[in-house]
Structure 1
C-alpha cells in the first residue's frame, strides 16, 4: 500500500506545476478563454468521459490507495484515464487532500495528466479553500491548450464563494460568459446563493433577470426560492411576494420550501393574516406543509400570545405525522410566558420531557425568565439550581434573567452575589448583564451602589454603551441629582457616544421635574436639530412640563405642533387641558381640539 507522509497532505507551491499568482492567472484566464473557446479540448471525448466511470472494486480509501500503489508498480503504466477514475472516486469520498497528494505523486512519476485530471484537482483545491492553488492549476490548464468547461468554472465559483470572495466569483462568471462558456443552472444557483449569503440581494435579483434572457437556462424553483428567502430575511416581504407572483406567472411551480420561506417572512413582520393566507393557499395547491412550516406558524402564533391557536396547530402537525420537537415546545412555552401563564408553560415543559425530548438549556432559560417576569423568583431559582443535575450549565442569558428577577423583587444583594459567582466560575458577565444590575440598583433607589458599579464597569474597560449611560442618567434624574446627570450627559461625546432619543427624553424629564424648563426646552430643540424628531411621548412630556411651569402659550403651541405631525395627546394631557379650560385659564374654543382625543 502507498504510504502517505503527513507532510504530503500539506502542499507547497513548488509541488504544483504552472505556478501563477491569483491575479496573473485570472488575467491569463481572461485573455486565453476568449481565443480558445472554439477549440476542442485535447482528449475531451475520450479521457474526460471515461474518467467519470467508477471502479467497482474501490469502496474505501484504503482500496483506492492500494490500487494507486499497484498501478505505479506496473512495468507499463496505465493510461491517465485509469488514474482519473481513481482520483474521481477519492474526490467523491471527500478526501480532497488525498487527491492532491496523489496528483503530486503522478507528477513525480512523470505520469501525463489531461483536462479531466486538472479539473478534478482544481475542484479539490476549491473544497480545501486553497483558491491560490486552484488558480495555479487553472493556469497550467489553460497553458496546456485546454478550455475550462462549465463544471470546472462552477467549481471555481463555489470555491470563491466558500471563502466569501464574492467579487472574484462574480468576475469568474463574467469571464465565463464572455469567453463563450455557457453557465448551467448549477452555476447560476451557486452564484445566487453566494450573493444572498452576503446580503447582496439586488445583485441576486439582477442575475435572476439575466437568467430569464437565456433560452436554455431559465431560473428554476431553487433559483427563485433562494432570492425570495433573501428578500424575506431583509424584511422585504412585499418584494418577495411580487417575485413569487412573477415566478408563478412564468410557469415555475412553487414547492413547500418556497411557501415556508414566504410564511416565515410574513411572520417576521407580524403579518399573521398574510402568513395564514399563504398557508391556506399552499394547502389549496396540494403542496403538503412540512415540519418546518408548522413550526414557523406555531412560533408566530405563540409570540402573538395566541397560544391556544398555536397548540391547535401542533395537534394538526402531529396528525400529519410530524412530531413536535424542542423548538416547537419552546415556542409554546414562550407564548404562555408572555401571557404570564407560568403553570401552563411548566406543563408544556414537563410534556416535552415526558415525550423524550432531551433537556435543553433554552427551555430552562425560557421558564426561568418567565418566572422572573412575574416575580416568582423562588421557582426560577429552583430551576436554575436544578440545571447542573441535568447536565446543563447555565449560560449568560440564564444568569442575566435571574439577576433581573432578583432586582425586580428588591433582592439586589442576591443579584450582586450572582454576578460575583459568574466572575469566579461562570460565564464572564457582559455589558448587558451589568446593565441589568445597574437598572435594578437605580430602580431600587440604591444610587450610590449604582454609581459604584458603573465605575467598576469603567475600570474593567467594558464597552459601555448608550443603554448603560441612559440607565444611570435616568437614575440620577429620578434622585434629583441633576448636576451629576448633566455632567454624565456632557461626557458622552468624549466617550465616542451620541445621545439617542431615550437619552434626550430622560434628561428632558429630569430637567422638567427639577423646574429647569428653559434648559428642557433648549435640549428639546437640540434633540430635533440632531435628527431625533419628537414622538407622542416627548410632546406630551413637554406639554405637561410647560403647563406645570405656567407657560400655557408654549403648551398650546406644542399641542398644535403635535397634532400637525399626526400625534395625539394622551389621557393625562387631555385632562390637564380640559381642567384649564374649565377653570377659565384657557380659551374655551380649544375644548373641541382636545375632546376629539377622548
Structure 2
C-alpha cells in the first residue's frame, strides 16, 4: 500500500497542520461564531451545540473513543463548517485520540471542500503510515477534491490506481469522474467513460446519461447527443426533464425549431411536464425565425398544461414585436401583463424605450411609462 499513487501522493502529513494551522485557526474562529442551519441533525440544531458537546468530551477522563467524536464531527460537516472540523481534529490529535478510517475520511473531505486537496493527500499518507486501510469513500473523496480543482487527469489516474489495487469503485466514484470530465469539456472521454462504466458492471442511470448529453449539447455536438439519447431509450432508461431540456435548448440554438417542438410533444406524451424555461426558450427561438403563428400555438399548449406565461415570456413577445416595428402590439402586451398582475421588469421597459426612440416616438413613450 505504501507505493500507491506515487505521482500525486504527498506523504508529508505534518505540514498540513504546520503550514495550514494559522489559516485554519482564523477560519474556525469565524465558523464557531456562525450559527448552523436549524434541524440539520436530530442531535444538534446549530454548530454551537455541537461545539459545546465536543468541549465536554475533551474534558472527560478517560477520553471517549473516536467513534463518539465522529458523532459530533459529522453533523458539523453537514453544516459545512469544514474549517471548524479541521481544528477539532487537530485538538483530538494533540490529546492522543487515535483516528479510524471514518474520522480520517471526514478530515480528508474537509480539506477537499476547503480547496486543499493536497492536504487531503497528506492525511491519506498518514493513514497508510499508521496502517489504517483506506476504503472506497477515501478514494472517492480525493477524486472529488481533484475534480473540484479541475485536475481531471490526476483524478482519472487515482481512479485507475484505485481499481488496480483491488478496490471496487461505487457508482458515486464513477459519477464523480464522469461529472468532472463533462465540466472540463472532455466530451469524447466522457462518452468512452460512460461505456466503460457499463463494461465494468455499472449500468449508467439517467443522471449519468443526461450529464453527458448536456456536455455534448454545449459543445455543439447535437447529433452525437441525439445518438446517445436513442441509445439510452433502447436500453429502457426513461429520459427526464433535464434530458429533454438539454436537447430542446440545443435544437433551438441550431435553428431546429420544428424538431424541438416535436421533442416537446414527445415529453408531454411521456407524461413529463415541460417547465416555463423550456416554453420560453421555444417561444424565443420561433419568434427569431418569424414563426408567429407557431408561437401562439406554443402559448396555447403551455396554458393547457397549466403553465401561465411569466414576465420572461411576455418580455420575449414585447421584444419580438418591437423588432418588427409593431410597437402598438408590444404596448398591448405590456397592458395585458399589468392586468394579469405581472409587473413588467426593467428589461421589458428597456425594449419599449429602445423601440420608441428608434421610431421617434418619445412623447408617446412618456405617456406609456406614466400610465
TM-score interval w.r.t. the shorter chain?
A: 0.7 to 0.9
Residue 212 of structure 1 and its aligned partner are, at CA, apart by 1.9
Number of aligned residues: 339
Residue 196 of structure 1 and its aligned partner are, at CA, apart by 1.6
Equivalent residue, structure 1, for 2:189: 203
CA contact (8 A) 1:231 1:240 kept: yes
Residue 357 of structure 1 and its aligned partner are, at CA, apart by 4.8
Bigger Rg over Cα? 1
Q: 1:162 to 1:323 in 2, by over 3 A?
A: farther
CA contact (8 A) 2:279 2:302 kept: yes
Distance in 1 (alpha carbons) for counterparts of 2:363 and 2:183 = 42
Distance in 2 (alpha carbons) for counterparts of 1:352 and 1:184 = 51
Q: 1:369 to 1:158 in 2, by over 3 A?
A: farther
Which one scores higher on RCO, CA 8 angstroms, separation ≥ 6?
Answer: 2
CA contact (8 A) 2:209 2:232 kept: yes
Residue 257 of structure 1 and its aligned partner are, at CA, apart by 1.5
Equivalent residue, structure 1, for 2:259: 274
Distance in 2 (alpha carbons) for counterparts of 1:351 and 1:98 = 54
Unaligned runs of 5+ in 1: 1-21, 29-53, 390-598
Classify the secondary structure of the residue corresponding to 1:26: coil
Equivalent residue, structure 2, for 1:131: 117
Instruction: Determine whether 1:376 maps to 2:360.
Output: yes
Please report the TM-score for the alignment, with normalisation by the length of structure 1.
Answer: 0.52
Task: Give the RMSD, CA atoms, in angstroms.
Answer: 2.8
User: Over residues 236-287 of structure 1, what are the superposed CA-to-partner deviations in whole Å (9 max), with x where a residue is unaligned?
Assistant: 2111111111111122111121112111111111101211121122222222
Instruction: Determine whether 1:322 maps to 2:310.
Output: no
User: Over residues 387-411 of structure 1, what are the superposed CA-to-partner deviations in whole Å (9 max), with x where a residue is unaligned?
Assistant: xx9xxxxxxxxxxxxxxxxxxxxxx
Residue 351 of structure 1 and its aligned partner are, at CA, apart by 4.0
Q: 1:226 to 1:146 in 2, by over 3 A?
A: same
Aligned with residue 61 of structure 1, among 47, 69, 79: 47
CA contact (8 A) 1:196 1:226 kept: yes
User: Over residues 8-66 of structure 1, what are the superposed CA-to-partner deviations in whole Å (9 max), with x where a residue is unaligned?
Assistant: xxxxxxxxxxxxxx9765277xxxxxxxxxxxxxxxxxxxxxxxxx9743221111011
Distance in 2 (alpha carbons) for counterparts of 1:380 and 1:122 = 65
Distance in 1 (alpha carbons) for counterparts of 2:347 and 2:338 = 13
Instruction: Determine whether 1:26 maps to 2:9.
Output: yes
Unaligned runs of 5+ in 2: 12-39
Distance in 2 (alpha carbons) for counterparts of 1:271 and 1:330 = 22
Equivalent residue, structure 2, for 1:489: none
CA contact (8 A) 1:303 1:334 kept: no
Instruction: Determine whether 1:72 maps to 2:64.
Output: no
Instruction: Determine whether 1:332 maps to 2:341.
Output: no
Residue 210 of structure 1 and its aligned partner are, at CA, apart by 0.7
Distance in 1 (alpha carbons) for counterparts of 2:311 and 2:128 = 53
CA contact (8 A) 1:122 1:134 kept: yes
